[in-house]
């Protein structure tokens, strides 16, 4: 066992392994020490000089991020001397900052703004003009760079070096003329660019996707799990509740993802917005689409199943629903009704074992392992991961219940697959997205809830559960998740 160090921060005792810095200990204890350049997922730079703390018995203030805790050390983070130091450090950071908060996307979640309210509140003493630098540069990926707003904390440079290993950013020139940038004429090319927007403590990096769409204080964030691949990154999902519009996804510190997430995962809010959602139950008669209510819809489905008998029913299941939904779905169809034909519905072009070395996996379904576990539990279907769409189509059951993949972006063949299914005898499409409406003649369509609107869990690549604990109210009134839809359907039997 490694040596432990006992010391105190603001009177609270703490034991940490030897080598832990004061900042790391404070972060774990949730004691806030103002900082810009330190980030729990990156190396220590010690350049912002903002995390100054008092060490009892030492004459000068020291930076917490690069100060290793030692036995008996007593740290004070809240003395008048420390506060005064923070105030001065902040004033220096703001010397050349343009203060264009009214048009800056970072406003509302900006380190400079927040710390000004906490430790600043001074009258600026600067009389000299500010240094002007290049603005609104497209540096590749999802990024727009404003070098004037930059406080040169170097988090982005370290991220490029340590996380993506692409080293596409550097600090050029020096002193108050120093600017962050890519090599002249080159752009950042990896798939993790939006992380730079998150870790930038000011508004130097902003996201092309989110820019100027919404002020952050109108948005409500809720904890969720990214459904974009089998890694299952912990995320915060941001939506404006009044309009039910989703705007962005940010990573939340979690076991599966550390502090980051990929740019592909960032887009996983788009299919949730109302324009691309399946809103009504409907059936098609003589090529005409007829909207019906849920009762009528489930009643018709129940009679159809009773008419043909469970032996002529098959289930075509994609791996993008929660464990709880699979449990309820299979419990009813397999457990109660005795349906035997169960097929996996997967993207035919997927490269299951691909991995980009950071987070993104080739398995672009959120819950492959959850589905496999449920199939095993009920002893149905193929016990190996694999697309059985063609088998399902050729076996031509009289009734097919299809759990349509939730996210079209992760399922390139969705349209052509749906086309094939529509031509079959009778398929009931249970779907989150409205892709099916692009094809005429779907016999039976049931709208279900998206991942942001339901409780439940996904089982990720490592077999770990990711919990959807705090759902938003659904943007579409009166729809249910697969589990409650199944329960409602069972009332007709």
Partner 1 sequence: MNSSNNSSIFSEKLKTVIEKELTRYETKRSAILPICHAIQDECGWVQEKHIDALEKEYSLNRIQVKEVLTFYKAYKQSEPKKFEIEFCDNIVCCMMGAKDAMAKIEELIEKQGVNSEFGLKGVPCLGVCDQAPAMLVNKDRHHKITNENVEKVLSRYSSTI
Contacts with partner 1, residue ranges (CB under 8 A): 167-174, 182-184
Residue 172 beta carbon to partner 1: minimum distance, rounded to whole angstroms: 4
Residue 180 beta carbon to partner 1: minimum distance, rounded to whole angstroms: 11
Residue 170 beta carbon to partner 1: minimum distance, rounded to whole angstroms: 4
* Residue whose CB is less far from partner 1, 172 or 492: 172
* Residue whose CB is less far from partner 1, 138 or 167: 167
Asked if 333 contacts 381 with a C-beta cutoff of 8 angstroms, the reply is no
Q: Tokens representing 268?
A: 């996983």
Task: Please tell me the distance from the alpha carbon of residue 54 to that of residue 11, in angstroms, as a whole number.
Answer: 13
* Residue whose CB is less far from partner 1, 157 or 397: 157
* Residue whose CB is less far from partner 1, 41 or 170: 170
Residue 150 beta carbon to partner 1: minimum distance, rounded to whole angstroms: 15
144-175 burial code (b ≥16 CB/10 A, e <16): bbbbbbbbbbbbbbbbbbebbeeebbeeeeee
Residue 181 beta carbon to partner 1: minimum distance, rounded to whole angstroms: 9
* Residue whose CB is less far from partner 1, 181 or 203: 181
Long-range contacts of the stretch 86-92 (C-beta < 8 A, 24+):
86/34, 86/50, 86/52, 86/115, 86/119, 87/119, 87/120, 87/121, 87/122, 89/48, 89/49, 89/50, 89/52, 90/50, 90/115, 90/116, 90/119, 90/120, 91/120, 91/122, 91/124, 91/125
Listed in sequence order, the residues at least 6 apart from 148 whose beta carbon sits closer than 8 Å to its beta carbon are: 96, 97, 98, 130, 132, 133, 134, 135
Residue 186 beta carbon to partner 1: minimum distance, rounded to whole angstroms: 8
* Residue whose CB is less far from partner 1, 75 or 156: 156
Q: Tell the burial category of 405 from Cβ atoms under 10 Å away from its Cβ (0-12, 13-18, 19+).
A: buried
* Residue whose CB is less far from partner 1, 107 or 171: 171
Residue 168 beta carbon to partner 1: minimum distance, rounded to whole angstroms: 7
């Amino acid at each position: 066992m490694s040596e432990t160090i006992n010391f105190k921060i603001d009177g609270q005792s703490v034991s940490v392994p030897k080598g832990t810095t004061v900042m790391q200990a404070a972060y774990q204890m949730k004691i806030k020490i103002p900082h810009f350049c330190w980030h729990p997922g990156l190396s220590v730079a010690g350049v912002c000089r903002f995390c100054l703390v008092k060490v009892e018995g030492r004459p000068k203030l020291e930076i917490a991020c690069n100060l290793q805790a030692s036995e008996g050390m007593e740290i004070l983070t809240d003395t008048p001397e420390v506060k005064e130091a923070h105030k001065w450090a902040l004033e220096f950071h703001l010397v050349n900052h343009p203060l264009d908060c009214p048009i800056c996307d970072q406003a509302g979640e900006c380190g400079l703004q927040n710390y000004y309210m906490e430790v600043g509140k001074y009258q600026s003493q600067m009389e000299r003009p500010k240094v002007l630098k290049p603005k609104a540069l497209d540096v590749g990926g999802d990024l727009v760079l404003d070098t004037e707003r930059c406080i040169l904390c170097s988090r982005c440079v370290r991220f490029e070096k340590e996380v993506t290993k692409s080293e596409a950013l550097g600090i050029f020139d020096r002193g108050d003329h120093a600017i962050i940038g890519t090599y002249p004429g080159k752009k950042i090319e990896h798939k993790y660019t939006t992380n730079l927007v998150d870790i930038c403590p000011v508004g130097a990096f902003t996201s092309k996707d989110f820019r100027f769409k919404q002020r952050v204080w109108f948005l409500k964030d809720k904890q969720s799990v990214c459904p974009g691949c089998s890694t299952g990154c912990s995320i915060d999902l941001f939506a404006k509740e009044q309009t039910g519009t989703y705007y962005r996804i940010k990573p939340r510190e979690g076991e599966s993802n550390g502090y980051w997430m990929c740019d592909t995962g960032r887009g996983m809010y788009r299919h949730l917005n109302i324009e691309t959602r399946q809103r009504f139950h409907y059936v098609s008669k003589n090529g005409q689409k007829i909207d019906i209510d849920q009762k009528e819809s489930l009643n018709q489905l129940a009679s159809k199943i009773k008419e043909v008998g469970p032996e002529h029913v098959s289930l075509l299941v994609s791996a993008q629903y929660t464990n709880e939904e699979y449990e309820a779905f299979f419990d009813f169809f397999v457990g109660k009704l005795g349906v035997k034909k169960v097929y996996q519905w997967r993207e035919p072009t997927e490269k299951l074992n691909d991995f980009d070395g950071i987070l993104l996996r080739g398995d672009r379904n959120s819950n492959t392992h959850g589905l496999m576990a449920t199939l095993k539990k009920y002893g149905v279907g193929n016990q190996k991961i694999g697309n059985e769409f063609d088998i399902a189509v050729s076996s031509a059951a009289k009734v097919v219940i299809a759990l349509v993949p939730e996210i079209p972006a992760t399922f390139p063949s969705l349209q052509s697959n749906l086309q094939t299914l529509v031509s079959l005898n009778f398929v009931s499409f249970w779907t989150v997205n409205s892709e099916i409406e692009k094809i005429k003649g779907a016999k039976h369509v049931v709208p279900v809830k998206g991942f942001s609107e339901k409780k439940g869990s996904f089982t990720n690549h490592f077999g770990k559960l990711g919990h959807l604990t705090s759902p938003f109210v659904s943007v579409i009134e009166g729809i249910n998740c697969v589990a409650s839809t199944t329960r409602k359907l069972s009332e007709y039997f």
